[in-house]
Each structure stands twice: as structure tokens, then as C-alpha cells.
Amino acid sequence: MNSFNHYYLIILNLFPGLFFCSIILANGNSTNIIHIMVDDLGYGDLGCYGQKTIKTPNLDRMAERGGKFTDYYSGNTVCRPSRLSLWTGKHMGHTPIYSNASYIFKPEDITVAELLKTKGYITGGVGKWAMGGVGTKGHPNDNGFEYWFGYLDQGQAHNYYPPLLWRNKEKVFLKGNVLTNSLVDRKRVSKIRTTYSHDLITAEALNFIQKHKRKPFLLHVHWTIPHANNEGGRATGDGMEVPDYGIYESEKWSSVKKGAAAMITRMDSDVGKIINLLEKLKLKENTLVFFTSDNGPHSEGGHKHETFNSNGPLRGYKRDLYEGGIRVPAIAYWPKTIKAGTIFSKPMAFWDWMPTACDIASVEPPENIDGLSFLPSLRGNHEDQQSHDYLFWKFSNKKAIRKGNWKGVITGTNRDMELYDLKSDISERKNLARKYPEKVRELNQIIGKYKK
């Protein structure tokens, strides 16, 4: 035992109350972690990524004062498998599903929340959960989250005016919302709309931060906007449900276009509320806020992704494995740790979130994951940042791989791999497969390891 520890133990024996104080100080020095993930936001939907029409001042400021990722990828091109990748640190070659097929978490599935709990983190989440509800092993309370408020079923999350949400395992009824009760719209459209679910979910997130300001916490804020109400779009032609159009009210646009823009600006405003609360509580320098989207932009609910150029310079959108379906905006904000205006250009992905959060919390991640911690980059130690040998995706019968600047895509309708050089062709317009057959063979050999 070194001399410092020897004398420290003597002091604790003389003054046992100091032990409790030391725990408080240790917790106070732990970094809080907030992961904000929105639903179907495209690479080009934010001003800091080139958006010209929709206003996102808070996220733009967050990127300016923090860092922006240019090559960050979702786990998949649709909701449930993308979240599965995020929670468990695995890419689609090692997850039990690679489409929106139903999946309920099993006891052997280890989540980032379970790991951080072992280090004394208070763990909470709000918004959209997709891995099992009450009465199953997949409920968030049974998978590391001490607190959860929001949707448990991702299909019900299409409706922004649902009759109820869930607080842990208890129903919370929303005032004034009444469903059509029609099988045509699968009971996901409300005929009376009073309480907007997103606003309640945001309030719960803010309350969680306020309540646990004196302890280290992990908070996942998984908003559903700007996802469309698909059934609403089929029923009325407008599935972009929002209480008001805000700054777009006077625009001579369709209601669909106004709703799509208003949802994103509303979301941006709520990001600002989180940042402002952290500043008020003097937590901003001790909290990492990470913002991203679960996949590329949608063309649903009457809206088209082309309307606001939501995929920016990228080809494709939700349900594609071209860049537009899987390359997503990602912003990291951590004052005095992340240098303002940092650009992170190294390819990283959802499966890197678990090891990164574990690295911050000083907990060992599982050995059988695919992710790498990008904490060195966040701290500015770019020379110490590990790189992926390759990134892999699978969605139904579609597959894609990125190795360096080379991107291979198998569309499913055609078994032949398309090959693109992302360094010179970010829009994936020039198929180089015939010119570089040896590169196609190399990438196909890697993909061949994942037979499922």
C-alpha cells in the first residue's frame, strides 16, 4: 500500500463521515452522458450540414461550439435493427435481426445502460423503445434502464397523439386524445388531438436531468420526430403531425411541407432547452451531449425527402444502403473537452456508442462487440483514435460495406456488387466495379463471412 492510501485510511477511520463525502465527490467528477437520437432525420436536414430552408439554430450552434462528424453511420437503414446495434455495440453481421422484424431483448443481450449501472450511473430513457414491452424480458426496466417514459411499441409511435404512453410499466393516459378505432389505419390515427406526445417526452427528459443533477447519469432521449405518421398519410394525405407550424405558418406551402419543417425546428428548439438546462445547473462542462438520427430521411406520410434536399449530397434515403440511407448527422458537445469547431472525419458508426460510453464511465465493454471507442477523438487525441478495418450493413436482402474510401453495395435486386470511391464520389454515381474487379472480390470475401 502506498503512503497516500495508508494515511487516507487512517483519516477515514478517525472521520468515517468523510467516506460518504468522498463518494459524493467521486460521483460529481463523473461525466454525465446524454444521447439524443431522432427518427428519420436526414444528413442534409440541419443547417450545419447544408440545409438552406429549415431553421436549426440550436444544433448549428452546438456543432459550432462542439464537433461535427462527417462520416457517421447508423446501425441500419430502418428503426429497430439500428437501435439494436446502438444498444449492444454490434453491426448487422452479428445481430439477431437485420430488418424491422419483431425482436424482444433476451437476458444475454447486454446493453450500454446495464454496463454503466455497474459504475453507479443513474440510467434513464425517454421516447421510442422497440425491444419489448410489459410482460416480456425486453422491457427497458429489465435491460438496464431504471427509468423509461414514452412508447414501448415502435408501431404505436407513428401516432403523435396516442391515448397513452408508458412510465416504466405503468400506463400514462394523455388528455383528450381519441383514436379513430379504425382497422383501416391500424388504430394509429387520432380523430381528437389534444396532447402532443413529443412535448411530454421532452418534459420528462428535462425532469430527469433536474432530478439527477447531483449524480452521474446516462440519459437516452429518443425522440420520434420527424418520423411521419404513415397511417395518417394514407388516410388523409398528411402524416406530418405537429401542433402548429411555428415560423412556417405564413409560408405558401402545403400542410405536409409546413409540418415536416416545423417538426425539425421544434426538435431543434428542444435540443436548445436541454443545453440551456445544463448551463443553468452548471453541468455543461461535465456532460457529453451526443446528437444523431436512427437512419436516413423518409419519403412517407405524404412527404418526400427531395422537398428539402434532406439527404444533402448523398444518394438514397430510408431503406437504402446507399449513403443517404445510413450516413447520418452526428454532433458532439462537451465544453472544455471537445475543441470548438472540431470536424471528425474518421468513419464511425452506431456500434461504436457502447464502447465510447463505457470508456467515458471507465467500465469494460463486452469482448464480443464490433465497436471502437471514439473518446480519443472527442478529447482531441486523434492520433490515438483506432480505425475500423471496415463497416458492414445488411437490410433484408441488401448488403453494404465500407473499407477505407471504398463502398460496396448489393441492392438485392441485383446480386452483383456496385463499387464506389467515396473520396471522389460521395453521391455514389459512378459504379467502378468493372474497373476494379479485384476490389470487388476483396469486399465480397468480407461480406461472405456473414452468411445469414
* pLDDT score recorded for residue 415: 85
Q: Which tops the pLDDT comparison, 412 or 170?
A: 170
Q: What is the pLDDT of residues 130-169, one digit of tens each?
A: 999 999 999 999 999 999 999 999 999 999 999 999 999 9
pLDDT higher than threshold 70 for residue 69: yes
Would you tell me which CATH number, out of the four given (3.30.1120.10, 2.102.10.10, 3.60.21.70, 3.20.20.70), belongs to the domain 397-452?
3.30.1120.10
What is the C-alpha to C-alpha distance for residues 242 and 225, in angstroms, rounded to an integer? 9
**Given this model, what pLDDT does residue 10 score?**
41
Which regions of 352-447 does DSSP assign to beta strands (E)?
391-395, 398-403, 406-410, 418-421
What are the residue boundaries of the structural domains of the chain, listed by start? 32-389, 397-452
In degrees and rounded to multiples of 5, residue 295 shows phi and psi of: -175, -170
Query: Are 129 and 150 in contact, with CB atoms under 8 Å apart?
Result: yes
pLDDT at 184: 81
- Sign of the dihedral through C-alpha 160, 232, 321, 449: positive
Q: Give the tens place of pLDDT for each residue, 351-362.
A: 999 999 999 999
The whole-number pLDDT of residue 29 equals 59
Portion of the chain with pLDDT greater than 90, in percent: 90
Distance separating alpha carbons of residues 56 and 353, to the nearest angstrom:
24
- pLDDT reported for residue 16: 44
Task: Flag whether pLDDT at 219 surpasses 50.
Answer: yes
3-state secondary structure of 416: coil
Cβ atoms of 58 and 275 closer than 8 Å: yes
Neighbouring CB atoms inside 10 A of 99's CB total 18
At 25 the pLDDT is: 37
pLDDT band at 451 (very low <50, low <70, confident <90, very high): confident
Q: What does each C-alpha distance from 218 to 274, 275, 412 come to in angstroms?
A: 14, 15, 38
In the numeric block, which cell numbers belong to residue 65? 461550439
Write the DSSP symbol of residue 109: P
Q: What is the pLDDT of residues 321-372, one digit of tens each?
A: 999 999 999 999 999 999 999 999 999 999 999 999 999 999 999 999 999 9
Grid cell locating 351: 456500434
pLDDT of residue 6: 41
Task: Write the CA distances from 80 to 92, 113, 206, 416, integer angstroms.
Answer: 12, 17, 25, 27
Q: What is the model's pLDDT at position 452?
A: 66
Q: Cα(56)–Cα(49) distance, rounded to whole angstroms?
A: 10
* pLDDT over 70 percentage in the chain: 93
Length reported for the chain: 452
- Identify the DSSP state of 391: E
Query: What pLDDT score was predicted for residue 285?
Result: 97
CATH of domain 32-389: 3.40.720.10
Closest C-alpha to 144, from 117, 166, 125: 117
As a whole number, the mean pLDDT across the chain is 93
State the greatest distance between any 2 C-alpha atoms of the chain, in Å, as a whole number: 77
Q: What is the mean pLDDT of residues 277-284?
A: 98
d(CA 347, CA 350): 11
SS3 content of the chain, % helix, strand, coil (to 5): 35, 20, 50
Q: Is the peptide bond before 226 cis (omega within 30 degrees of 0)?
A: yes
Q: What is the pLDDT of residues 406-430, one digit of tens each?
A: 999 999 887 899 999 999 999 999 9
Nearest Cα residue to 223 out of 267, 175, 287, 189: 267
Residues contacting 404, CB < 8 A, separation 6+: none
Please count the helices (runs of H) and the strands (runs of E) in the chain: 12, 18
